[in-house]
Amino acid sequence: MTKLRLGVDTGGTFTDFVLVDGDQLCIHKQLSTPAAPEQAILEGVKALGLKAGEFDLVHGSTVATNAALEGKGVKTAYVTNTGFKDVLTLGRQARRELYNLQLAPETPPVPEALCFEVNCRLSASGAEINALTQADCDALIAELQAQQPQAVAINLLFSFLDNKHELQLAATIREAIPDVFVCCSSQILPEYREYERGMATWLNAWLGPLVDGYIRRLQQGVAPSPVAVMQSTGGTLAANKASKRAVNLLLSGPAGGLMAAKTVAEVCGEKRVLTFDMGGTSTDVALVSGNPSLTTESSIGHFPVAVPTVDMHTIGAGGGSLAWIDDGGLLQVGPQSAGASPGPACYGKGGQQPTVTDANLVLGRLRASAFLGGGMALDVSAARAAVARVAEPLGLSVEEAALGIVQIANEHMAQALRVISVQQGEDPRQDALMAFGGAAGLHMCALADALEMPRAIAPIFGGVLSALGMLVAPKSREVSRSVRKPLRDASSCEIEELIDQLSFAPADELRAEGVSMSELQRLISLDLRYVGQSHCLNIPLNGTANIEALEAAFHAAHEQRYGHALEMPVEWVNLRVSCRADNAGDANVLPTWSVTSEAMPFAHEPLVGYERPVPIYKRDELAVNQTIQGPALIVEQVSTLLVEQGWAATVDTVGNMLLKRV
């Protein structure tokens, strides 16, 4: 019997499930339990009728993300070289508000009492200047025992060249204080820039015990089913490894959505798509062309996250985003959210503030009796009462205020799409917009119009697409090494040799997870910049390492991104290697759409803003190649699609809705 595979994405409002049984897919949504996220997963497993041990679980977790955003990490010590304990406090000395002369001071990430120094030192070439002595270790242990931290982050200068001092300190701490969570910068981010490296290491230590405890509870709850966790790069990691790599899980859920978007784009024949993932709490946008692009310049809250993550832009605009009136009397939407508890007012769980979901219900775009396939009734009266809280002070009708809430949310999301496309030199008019997440289908046509995009895709199972992405994501490991030398001084042989060195450990780990040599892929890239620049562009290495070709590719990428190229020498900063399993056959996870008889609308209902009643269809009754002319509503179990006037939607062979402006 084929073993069942379960993908789970924990969101701020809902926890989504996709179960694959051979060529059959089953989907489910469960209200999230933020205080104990594993409880929603276990309840969903029970609701799906699954027994422990009969399925493999791949999970996208928000535990690290939420703890970072809420500032709820554990008590963490920071260990560095003598004279450098203030690095994380000083940061890059960048002001949050450039022209505010009375800016309130920020709380340092690590209190001074938890910053410790050891008198060892390496030179910039990796040579030992001061050895790490037993006296240094004993003094550090005494200081740590006095403070009793739950975690320790070790970040020594130039440890990416030689990590012997970091490893010696880690071993000493673990022996003296066995229960403490310890991590080294040379294992978390072996790259230059001590501030970014230190922040990544501190974040990993600060969040590590929380993630480790959560994963242990989840494993115990589903045992003996194996558990894998989605990383921020779009690849999965065995749970026992993930529990030590909290900083690599910060964009776990959104990364799953991009991996599913890649699969759907391939099925639809689209080379490049702008993705728009609108959930209950936030909206994530990205540009996907083949494998999702990675960046080392992302952030979580005001913390920089220099480990590789999928390149996306996130804003606080989701179905649960609150509408409010500012001090100037203007209507605003977000970034505050109603979350899962109490949720939008229409959920009937005590919420009273108006949200985007309430506004869509007032406008008739959400059907009270069709939400979650009829499994959850929505309270229209409560939604109208909530929207009235902002309508009355503005002198608007409830319907006018609801329309304003939706339009403001749309503008926030359109601007986010421009950030990820236009501001990076890409023309969105050449691409398709792919909308997924439970709330996205109601806003898709309006956003495509705002960016003058002629095509859009509402993927099958779009309301749970991130959970589907967990199942198509490959097992992967990403490693890097700082080099910092003129590219012309490097040789092809030197690059190839360093690639082989970096590939050994991740390839060995993947083989231990069952990936054969024939399935193993390596994706190689170099971080390059002009000499004197601070920031790099990541240039893929296609085929053998050719110095002239790499230099030409960098010049072209710089001109495409910034509008110009320079006649300056190019510097090689970092080498990056991604080892992953070849998941070439996973596009077949989408079953063939079997409906052949065209469906008629089951109702015609008035919608605010439309002259005539709008036809309403059930998505699971639409036939292959059936075309629906807008305006129309298409309802399904986990989302609702609004086909606006001037658009037409056609069902493809796996059930995706392909929209074109007509």
Span 37-60, pLDDT tens digits:
899 999 999 999 998 888 999 999
Pair 618, 552 in one domain: no
Q: How far is CA 435 from CA 275, 464, 466, 614, 657, in A?
A: 6, 11, 12, 22, 10
Residue where a domain stops, chosen among 561, 582, 603 = 582
Indicate whether 86 belongs to any domain: yes
Residue where a domain stops, chosen among 582, 597, 631 = 582
Percent of the chain at pLDDT > 70 equals 98
In sequence order, the β-bridge partners of residue 154 are 79, 184
pLDDT at 587 (0 to 100) = 55
Q: Which position has the higher pLDDT, 434 or 339?
A: 434
Mean pLDDT taken over the chain: 90
CATH code of the domain containing 117 = 3.40.50
pLDDT above 50: residue 424: yes
Indicate whether 564 belongs to any domain: yes
DSSP code, position 355: B
Q: Mean pLDDT throughout 408-424?
A: 90
Distance CA 317, CA 337 (A): 8
pLDDT per residue as tens digits for the range 223-272: 999 999 999 999 999 998 888 999 999 888 889 999 999 999 999 999 99
Pull the structure tokens for residue 521: 């892929």
Pair 510, 621 in one domain: no
pLDDT per residue as tens digits for the range 456-483: 999 998 888 889 999 999 999 999 999 9
Pair 619, 553 in one domain: no
Indicate whether 618 belongs to any domain: yes
Pair 513, 642 in one domain: no
Distance CA 231, CA 567 (A): 38
For residue 341, give the H/E element and its range.
Answer: none
The number of helix segments (H) and strand segments (E) in the chain equals 16, 34
Contact predicate 60/9, CB 8 Å: yes
Residue type, 232: S
pLDDT above 90: residue 385: yes
586 pLDDT tier (thresholds 50, 70, 90): low
pLDDT above 50: residue 135: yes
Pair 187, 92 in one domain: yes
118 pLDDT tier (thresholds 50, 70, 90): very high
Indicate whether 30 belongs to any domain: no
Contact predicate 591/25, CB 8 Å: yes
Rounded to 5°, the CA angle 32-33-37 comes to: 95
Closest residue by Cα to residue 45 from 28, 21, 63, 69: 28
Pair 625, 524 in one domain: no
One DSSP character per residue, 427-483 reads -GGGSEEEEESTTGGGTHHHHHHHTT-SEEEE-TTGGGHHHHHHHHPPBEEEEEEEE
380-394 vs 398-420: helix crossing angle, rounded to 10: 90
Q: How far is CA 45 from CA 15, 63, 186, 442, 461, in A?
A: 11, 19, 38, 29, 18
Indicate whether 191 belongs to any domain: yes
Q: Domain tally for the chain? A: 3
Pair 77, 205 in one domain: yes
The β-bridge relationship of strands 115-118 and 76-81 is: parallel
Distance CA 90, CA 94 (A): 9
Indicate whether 345 belongs to any domain: no
Q: How far is CA 39 from CA 33, 382, 437, in A?
A: 6, 28, 22
Domain boundaries, position 99 = 69-211
The β-bridge relationship of strands 614-618 and 603-605 is: antiparallel
Distance CA 393, CA 404 (A): 14
pLDDT at 375 (0 to 100) = 67
Pair 177, 103 in one domain: yes
pLDDT per residue as tens digits for the range 180-223: 999 999 999 999 899 999 999 999 999 999 999 999 999 999 99
For residue 284, give the H/E element and its range.
Answer: strand 283-288
Per the document, the length of the chain is 662
**What residue spans of 323-363 are helical by DSSP H?**
356-362
Pair 163, 97 in one domain: yes
pLDDT at 355 (0 to 100) = 93
Q: Which residues fall within 8 angstroms of residue 271, CB to CB, at 6 or more apart?
A: 265, 289, 290
Pair 522, 647 in one domain: no
pLDDT at 212 (0 to 100) = 92
Q: Mean pLDDT throughout 445-465?
A: 92
147 pLDDT tier (thresholds 50, 70, 90): very high
Indicate whether 634 belongs to any domain: yes
- Residue 533: CA atoms inside 13 Å, Cβ hemisphere, count? 18
**What residue spans of 269-397 are helical by DSSP H?**
356-362, 380-394
pLDDT at 372 (0 to 100) = 67
588 pLDDT tier (thresholds 50, 70, 90): low
pLDDT above 80: residue 284: yes
Q: Mean pLDDT throughout 279-294?
A: 84
Percent of the chain at pLDDT > 90 equals 61
Indicate whether 413 belongs to any domain: no
For residue 97, give the H/E element and its range.
Answer: none
Pair 110, 184 in one domain: yes
638 pLDDT tier (thresholds 50, 70, 90): confident
Q: How far is CA 55 from CA 22, 25, 227, in A?
A: 12, 14, 9
Residue where a domain stops, chosen among 156, 179, 211 = 211
pLDDT at 316 (0 to 100) = 75
* 298 three-class SS: strand
pLDDT at 188 (0 to 100) = 94
Ranking 323-327, 348-352, 557-561 by mean pLDDT, the lowest is 348-352
Query: What does the radius of gyration of the chain's CA atoms come to, in whole angstroms?
Result: 26
pLDDT at 373 (0 to 100) = 63
CATH code of the domain containing 570 = 3.30.1490
Pair 657, 578 in one domain: no
1 pLDDT tier (thresholds 50, 70, 90): very low
Contact predicate 410/319, CB 8 Å: no
